[in-house]
Each structure stands twice: as C-alpha cells, then as structure tokens.
Structure 1
C-alpha cells in the first residue's frame, strides 16, 4: 500500500478501480469493482455523510438467538412444524426445544401446525445476526454484508454501469451493515408524519415505553440512502490485492521484465565503475551505495545472489 493510500479513510469506486489498474497493469473499471463485490472477493462500504439510523445487532450462536413460534396458515393433521433456513437451522431448533420444554409442550398441547422463525439472520451454519434493539445514529464507514437488501443496491449500480436492466427484485430483510470490530447494524427508514399517527408519551412513562415509542417511528430500510455513497476502505482493497496476488501486494515479474531490470542493474554498476566480476567487493560497494541512498536494504548476502544472476545476463 502506498504511503498516500494509507492516509485515506476511503476511496471512491473510480479511485479504487484506478489503483487496481496500476497494481495489476490491466484495465479495471467501476463495473469490475462492483463485480468483485457481488462475487464475494472485495468488501464494499458506504459512507454516511449525513448520518443514518439503525438498530445495532450482534453475531450470536443460533441457539442463543432462539426462535419465535407462530401458527401456520395451512393447518394439517397431524400438526407439523415448518422451519425455514436449511438443515443447520432445523437442527438448532430441535436443540432449542430441548432447552425450552415449555415451548415444546405448547406445540403438543395446542395440536396445531406452527412456523418456527429464527430470531435473526443466519450468516453461517452455526451463527446468526440478531434483530437488534433500539435505534442508534450511524456515522462514517460501514461495510456491506451482501446478505440483505444492500446486495440489490450493488447489483443495481452494476447494471447502471454496464447498461443493463433495472433491478426490480425486493428484499424484505432490509439492509444489513457491519464493521470490522464485529458490530452489525440494521438500517432503518423513518415514517413521515402523514404515515404515522401522533402519539403522546406521558411524562411518567418508563424508559422501556419511551424506547418503544421511539422505535415505532422507524421500519427496516429497503435500500441504501442516496447520500451514502459506496466506497472502498484501503484495508479491504489491500486484502483483495494480496488475495489475487497470492499473498503479495504486487504482481510477479515475468522473465523478460526481470532480465530487463538486471540489464539496468549491470549498466548502472558500470557507470559507477563497479566491477561485477569481483563478487564480494562489488556486493560491499553496492550495499554502501544502497545505504547512502537512504534505503535499508537489500543487504550484502541478497546483493551477492543478484550479482550471480546479473553476471549471466546477455
């Protein structure tokens, strides 16, 4: 990562594309950056310029999140339990029933089919993100998890960049964001005054009543706000570069490029009147020149290895 890049908190999508183009010496467009995100290779973020509102959530085991049971609209005899979320969620539900015998008894006694709903969004075979409580103010950078409605926002931007069709899909789960410290946030939108009837809160209302009154003004946002631009954190960009480069932040030199650098090395040594045939002495002279130029390396041992290659260059 360049020194100037490390000083930036975020890069715009065109800046990220330009940096990748410089690193890999290939044409990279904003559409490519968006594709890297939709494929799960690059983490995109949003910058809440004018702040936002969200319910803060956390990642917990499936058992800790628990389940909510509601009557199934389609009753059957004998009664059934419908569980959404795959085999792992179903297995967690069976374990949860063992820990909550009163819920199991309720199913048996009522003799009605129910739907078991996980109190969160599964993000792995063992963990989920809770629904969150309270409404907090969001500031600065938040990462897109690509689990909720934010994925459709990225897809819509990609279609715009490539001249594709409008994305007409919807996601009822809302926008789910995260931060590197493990905090999650469920983005909220606010009802207008016309959409929400007024409701006074008495002066002696409890904190819980006040919290519920505040929360009723909000609902899960179906998309990112227009004043929260998509950006890329430098750390996320570096992780992507290292992953693509096999753990290196730059691309590997081809044989032709390496030979060209060795030829330049030999030419500069001749200009400095350093005889490369005198291996040990030449390595000491070059190391001294490197230190005089303000560099910490390479050291003499590494220079000797380079000299061995340079002497065989045509």
Structure 2
C-alpha cells in the first residue's frame, strides 16, 4: 500500500480506509462469542402505512406514517428487518459489517484523544458472506421467586410453605443473551484478510491514468492554473494538501455535490498542488 500510494501507510491509515469504506476490517474472535442472526433493510427501501392515532391527546385529523415489516432502526441508513429469537456461539474470523456502532469504535481507535459517542441502540454487527450477525453479551439474571422450584422432602412428597424444615429452593437461572455494549465485551483481535489486501491493492492499480491524448486538451499552463486555484481553496479552508487526512473530507464534499471521485484520484491531484503553487509564486 505504501508503495502504491507513494507514502508510508500506518495503522491509523487502515482505520481511516475502513471508516471511509475502502477497506474491510475483520475481527478474530478468540473465544466462543454469542450472536443472533439478523437481516437488514435500507431506510429508502422501507414501506410505510398511514394510521390515525386513537388517543385522546391526539387530534382526530392527525396522521402518522408507520414503517411496515421492520423491527427497529440502527442507523440513518439501516433498519433491522428480522432478528432470530435464539442465539448461538461463533468463533474465528468475521468481517465487520460497519452498519451499526462498530464504525464508532474504529473511530475511537483512530482518535483515541477524543471521546466518540456511540449510539446505544445501534448494536455491533459482523458478517460472513451475506449473513449478518448481531453481537451479544451473556448475563445471568438475578434469581426471582418465579425461578425458584421446590425440592421434594425426605419422604418423597413435594413440600410447601408449611414444610419449611424439609424444603430447599433450587434456583433455575439461565444465561440471557443481550445486545453487546461494545466490541470489547469479547476477546478479539482486529485483522485484515489476505484476500482483502489483494483486492484493495488491485483497486488502486485499476485506477485509470489519463493518456497523453486526454491531456492534449489541457495545456501545462492551464493545468498549473487549476492546481493553483485548488491550492488557494485549500489554504482558505485550512486544508493541507499533503496531509493524508485531508483527502476524506474532500471526498465527502464531492459526494454531496453529486460528483463522486475515488480516494486515490483525489490524493494524486492534491499531491501536485504544492509544486504548482510554488512554481506560480516564482
């Protein structure tokens, strides 16, 4: 990666690539980890029905749009369509789905000096192929009266409250799987699959390089002028073109403008800005 990008790539760069969706991080669960199977649906694909709330505090003319066929929302982009009632344990390497709170925890690794707020409702998700799993944490609930079962007395007759001398209560306490509050609820290590590294490098190599014929329409003077204008814009926005962290914000701006561009394409042009500005000043 360092060779292809022309600069040193460190761990934080990998976190940034993962958050921006360019690289898939995986998680290696070192021990058995409880999960539930879930299916997702994008927010734009949800169907709604209009209902009239039947409550005295609401107006009779009030109408409310209610989502149909979904369980609950985990982000602006995704809802849980279905979730299995039963949980089971997995172990080994799974990809981070990056659809819930897992992206926030990666951001915390990227910016350890700041406190990243993680939405509680989101949950943490991993995937294996097309199957998505929601991470769970195991807890033993406290023993309640309903969970207490009488034990037969010495003469073989089931006891009651009057037979207190011959009765002991045996609690039935079952482990409950609840939504994990953090990736750190489990023993794991973050990894990148070899195949994913190969795919990422291939995506960089596949970026088309403008041919000499394409460049004929833009003279060196015109190209230098455009790069100088970009440099002035960067200076006004307090953006350092050579800072690796500057590429992602510009990529986001291009997406919002409806003119998306690949990360390394933006980086390649930004790298040319300082030289163009320096030549212009001479």
Q: Shorter-chain TM-score category?
A: 0.5 to 0.7
Counterpart in 1 of 2:182? Answer: 223
1:119-134 equivalences under 5 Å are 119=71, 129-134=81-86
> What TM-score do the two structures reach when normalised by structure 1?
0.47
Is 1:242 equivalent to 2:224 in the alignment?
A: no
Counterpart in 2 of 1:26? Answer: 7
> Contact (CA 8 Å) 2:18, 2:24: kept in 1 or not?
yes
Secondary structure of the structure 2 residue equivalent to 1:57: strand
Secondary structure of the structure 1 residue equivalent to 2:87: strand
> Contact (CA 8 Å) 1:45, 1:230: kept in 2 or not?
yes
Q: Distance in 2 between matches of 1:74 and 1:247?
A: 61
Shift of 1:178: 0.8
Between 29-38 and 50-59, report the one with greater CA deviation. 50-59
Select the residue among 92, 100, 104 that pairs with 1:152.
104
Q: Distance in 2 between matches of 1:221 and 1:74?
A: 38
Q: Distance in 2 between matches of 1:183 and 1:122?
A: 17
Shift of 1:51: 2.1
Q: Which has the higher helix share?
A: 1
Q: Which has the higher contact order (CA 8 A, sep 6+)?
A: 1
User: Residues 46 and 125 from structure 1, CA distance in 2 versus in 1: closer, same or farther, beyond 3 angstroms?
Assistant: closer
Shift of 1:134: 0.7
Unaligned segments of structure 2, at least 5 residues: 151-172, 210-282
Secondary structure of the structure 2 residue equivalent to 1:138: strand
RMSD value, Cα: 4.1
> Contact (CA 8 Å) 1:149, 1:222: kept in 2 or not?
no
> Contact (CA 8 Å) 2:27, 2:191: kept in 1 or not?
yes
Q: Distance in 2 between matches of 1:57 and 1:77?
A: 37
Q: Distance in 1 between matches of 2:187 and 2:46?
A: 36
Unaligned segments of structure 1, at least 5 residues: 1-19, 84-89, 97-117, 203-212, 253-314
> Contact (CA 8 Å) 1:129, 1:184: kept in 2 or not?
no
Shift of 1:52: 0.7
Shift of 1:80: 3.0
Secondary structure of the structure 1 residue equivalent to 2:183: coil
Select the residue among 172, 196, 199 that pairs with 2:121.
172
User: Residues 72 and 57 from structure 1, CA distance in 2 versus in 1: closer, same or farther, beyond 3 angstroms?
Assistant: farther
Counterpart in 1 of 2:34? Answer: 53
